[in-house]
Chain A
Amino acid sequence: MSGWSAVYGIVARDLTRSTRQTSRLLGGVARPFMWLLLVGTGFNAITRLESGLPYPAFVFPGIVTMAALFGGALTAISTVYDREFGMLRLMLASPAGIPAVLAGRAIAAALVGMLQGGIVLAFAPLVLDLAPWRWPPAACALAAVTAMSAMLGLLIAARLRSVENFAGIINVVLFPLLFLSGALYPTVGLPPALLVLARANPVTYAVDLLRHALGQPAERAFAVDLAVVIGTTVAAFVVTAVLFDPEQRFIGRGRGDATPAAAPHRGSRP
């Protein structure tokens, strides 16, 4: 029971925090809409797709993925803030243990990603012809994508020591994952080296899964996309649990006498 209470407590805290960081929440929703408006309409004039889809309709699953990826992953990466400012050690010192802490963070991050992705998804009728029965599978696909995004964020946070390189994570990790996913252009036309990277990129399968759910032509089978997204989520959870070092906060960056830099002497005393 204590594990469930801890998970619930972590989820409730993270969601409360998210609702009080309105600028961050609004920014997370505004980013995909800006891309949809600026990139979608801009490229529509110069792009002709084999599928015959208008570019805004083609790019829409990718934009939903972007909202889910950034919302879920960035919320999960904020674990680094908790490590830096001491809240993580409170969680780690609880009887629930690391799996409960990771599960709580992942669920909360996924819910934030779901909210941001869901707001974008709600505007689907503006850019594509969506049959009513498509909504439930689309919501399920979004849930799977946000869960994967949250776990990828936690995986990144597992070994990230400081919050200084947050912008770097967005530019060096999240944007390349998105650009190499087929979200903005089909991966079939990519040069061989980039095609290999795109195929190794789990976000590629997330975008494709959403295409299936929204009734668009997809590059891979539905089962493959679903298996990769779920498999990545589970694998990321396991790897994060292994990589997650509860002692990291206390070594090297801490203050007081728990740090090597402040420790008084080297080797054994006589």
Chain B
Amino acid sequence: MSLAIETEGLGRDYGDVRALDALDLEVPRGAVVGLLGPNGAGKTTAMLCLATLLSPTRGGARIFGHDVVRERAAVRRRLGLLFQETSVDGLLTAEENLLFAARLAGLGGRLARAAVSETIERIGLGPRARRPARELSGGWRRLLDIARATLHQPDLLILDEPTVGLDPEHRDTIWTLLDAQRRSHGTTVLFSTHYLTEAEPADRVVLLAQGRVVADDTPSALSAELGDEIAEIEGPGAERLARALRGLGSARAVLRTGRGFRVGITGERQPVVELAGRAPGIDRFALRPTSLEDVYFARTQDAGELAAW
């Protein structure tokens, strides 16, 4: 199998703080992989190590077979990077920002100008290309950032929260552009996000918690582990009902949330609905399909707390 990303025990400390413990990851070429996890899980640290901007404290990583420490220049030639904060120079126009990025990527003269023109067309920046970037809205600045990251047709895109803070329309535009990029050039995409629905179409999801991988599979396989459906239970009698569902044998997983419980259900739903209908102290009971958000809660919840169930 031809790998775009390969890490072995990749870890990074900041002084005595262990931000990334040991990341083992294999991403095939052309795959779209979501890196999920709570704040402080080590997602950004992992991405910066893969992008050659941070040196690992332990372990190692290879991008298209190139070592991220010893062959930095070779790795960087294959990369397109998007950071959490938008990297756009407000004093330059959108077009000048792209030209700057093209030259940084090593494109010179006519090649750089052609790449900029093509990118402006592809992203739909046309009417805004000659405006100072500081006059663009947050959404357009992020689109400009995406344009910058994809301008040189990289083989691997590393995107740290590409849609953070954007409205649904801009988020949709960005994912459409990234999908087109992947289809036209076979670009491998590694992204992080807190919008878990954005990770549903990914080929694979890697869930980090406290610097370690706690789940790594396709979104559907991860969701299936929790059950066919999720019962959301709220109210003073929620805990008693959750225990009763477990006793019924329908519950595959029980998650405690801020407002009550989520119970992963398998098998027939009728006995579950009847039991919930008879249970006292229930303010809200709803059954819905399992989502990545449930997986997120299940895998990042304190292990001791889950064991108590």
Contact = CB atoms under 8 A, between A and B. Distances in A.
Interface stretch (A10-18, A175-183, A188-196): A10-18
Interface stretch (B24-32, B49-57, B120-128, B195-203): B49-57
Given A5-B103, A5-B112, A12-B100, A89 B44 contact: no
A86 B83 contact: yes
A17 B92 contact: yes
A86 B87 contact: yes
Interface string B108-135: 1000100000000000000000000000
Contact of A13 (B54, B73, B79, B92): B92
A12 B103 contact: yes
Interface string B203-242: 0000000111000000000000000000000000000000
Nearest to A251: B14
Interface in A88-105: 89-97
A21 B21 contact: no
B104 A91 contact: yes
A1 B83 contact: no
Contact of A264 (B91, B92, B96, B211): B211
Among B54, B86, B212: residue with most chain A CB under 10 A: B54
A9 interface: yes
Interface string A160-198: 000000000000000000000000000000000000000
A6 B106 contact: yes
Contacts of B14: 251-252, 259-260, 263
A269 B83 contact: no
A268 B18 contact: yes
B170 interface: no
Interface size band for A = 35 or more
A54 interface: no
Interface residues of B, number: 52
A54 B39 CA distance: 67
Interface string B69-92: 000110011010101111101011
B75 to A, nearest CB: 9
A262 B20 CA distance: 12
Contact of B99 (A9, A92, A262): A9
Contacts of A20: 91
Contact of A250 (B16, B54, B73): B54
A243 to B, nearest CB: 16
B18 A86 contact: no
A257 interface: yes
A88 to B, nearest CB: 9
B105 interface: yes
B150 interface: no
7 interchain residue pairs of minimum CB distance: A9-B103, A2-B106, A260-B14, A264-B40, A94-B104, A260-B17, A5-B108
12 contacts: A2-B106, A6-B104, A10-B103, A12-B103, A16-B91, A250-B53, A252-B14, A260-B17, A262-B39, A263-B17, A266-B16, A269-B210
